[in-house]
Copies of this chain bind each other. A is one copy, B any other.
Amino acid sequence: MPQSVSALANLYKDALLENVLPFWEHHSIDREQGGFFTCLNREGKVYDTDKFIWLQNRQVWTFSMLYNRLEKRENWLQIAANGAKFLAQQGRDNQGNWYFSLNRAGQPLTQPYNIFSDCFAAMAFSQYALASGEDWAKEVAQQAYSNVLHRQADPKGKYNKTYPGTRPMKTLAVPMILANLSLEMDWLLEGDRLEEVLNQTVQAVMMDFLDAEQGLLYENVTPEGQHLDCFEGRLINPGHGIEAMWFIMDIAHRRQDTELINQAVDAVLKTLQFAWDQTHDGIYYFMDAEGHPPQQLEWDQKLWWVHLETLVALVMGYRLTGRTECWDWFCKVHDYTWNHFVDAEHGEWFGYLNRQGEVLLSLKGGKWKGCFHVPRALYLCWQELEGTSSSGVC
């Protein structure tokens, strides 16, 4: 049955408010020791109590963001506070670097071996400071942000296994996360800081990592933005590239830069043509730009976040440009996503499907899946659909 834009908006809204958030509210809060359980099985039962810093911070971000942007629900602020207090106390080493994981009680398990824990901490505490008005949270956010800036040239520090000099390369994740993070930190940054970072980011992503002819985002390039003929250099992560493109659209929209918006939309559409599984539908997880065998054995799997970030990019691209290819692809990806990832029986979404679209792991949360991509994308799609004046149907 065809669904109108407003029916679709309601679908995303209801899934967020009546299905996904209640799942995390009921199952993930560690009321005894603070923070969140993210390893939840299909029914929501905790199967592992370790606390992974990315996911702890992302859940603080999600509930704070919804409190700030959607509705001042006291319960949401309390959930965010339960994570923020635990993390501020347990999450960092003496130098203020964020660990990768802790045990249930908050004792460190994995060292701060890259800057992404710090990135998600800065995002989380910025939103939480805004929500709570707490000065200490603002300080935590600012300290994490300065950590990220300080470590960005050498994100892995002593844990970096690359031999220096033989094959220098830079990675898409760094400018991409920096752009998103700086937008989040906007209210805490002084002077032209934000515009400076955004300029650098847009330049790096669109000139160095995007191959404009192919319309593909490369995960790794030389410092000068050239391709590298090796596993890392040929690597395409379609979901990651598409997510980067909606960050760019977001920045371009602030600047009223229609040309940049259209470049980003072009890249999304070309990436989808390249990465759509013509046999079983869905978007591949990893690909080799030259068609060689990728290193990643999970390359052909269909992951929740890949499809959700793609929906955000397509609906945003459609709202900003009105291009019908965006809407057609949105309907196609929407159908696949809602038919395969939603768990009608126990709530929330499956995360990992095999190539055929069957459930590979029935977990609702784990080491990498938490309360983040599903609610963020449902919220953004809902907002974008409400902002669309179009009368399209899916």
Contacts and interface: CB of A to CB of B under 8 A. Distances in A.
B163 A50 contact: no
A164 to B, nearest CB: 9
A222 B131 CA distance: 43
Please list the 7 inter-chain residue pairs (A to B) with the smallest Cβ-Cβ separation, ordered nearest first: A297-B298, A108-B163, A293-B363, A293-B361, A47-B292, A107-B166, A113-B161
Nearest to A295: B367
Interface stretch (A207-215, A265-273, A352-360): A352-360
Contacts of A290: 47
A50 B362 contact: no
Interface string A293-329: 1110111110000000000000000000000000000
Given A107-B166, A108-B166, A41 B293 contact: yes
A107 B163 CA distance: 9
Contacts of A107: 163, 166
A105 to B, nearest CB: 9
A86 interface: no
A228 to B, nearest CB: 11
Specify the main secondary structure of chain A where it touches its partner: loop
Interface string A79-103: 0000000000000000000011001
Q: How many copies does the complex hold?
A: 2
A50 B232 CA distance: 11
Contacts of A193: none
Nearest to A103: B166
Given A293-B363, A294-B361, A295-B367, 13 more contacts: A48-B229, A48-B230, A50-B231, A100-B161, A109-B162, A110-B161, A111-B163, A159-B159, A159-B161, A293-B366, A295-B366, A297-B298, A300-B360
Interface string A39-52: 10100000110100
19 contacts: A41-B293, A48-B229, A48-B230, A48-B231, A50-B230, A99-B163, A103-B167, A107-B166, A109-B166, A110-B161, A110-B162, A111-B162, A158-B158, A158-B159, A231-B367, A293-B361, A295-B367, A298-B298, A354-B355
A292 B294 CA distance: 28
A254 to B, nearest CB: 36
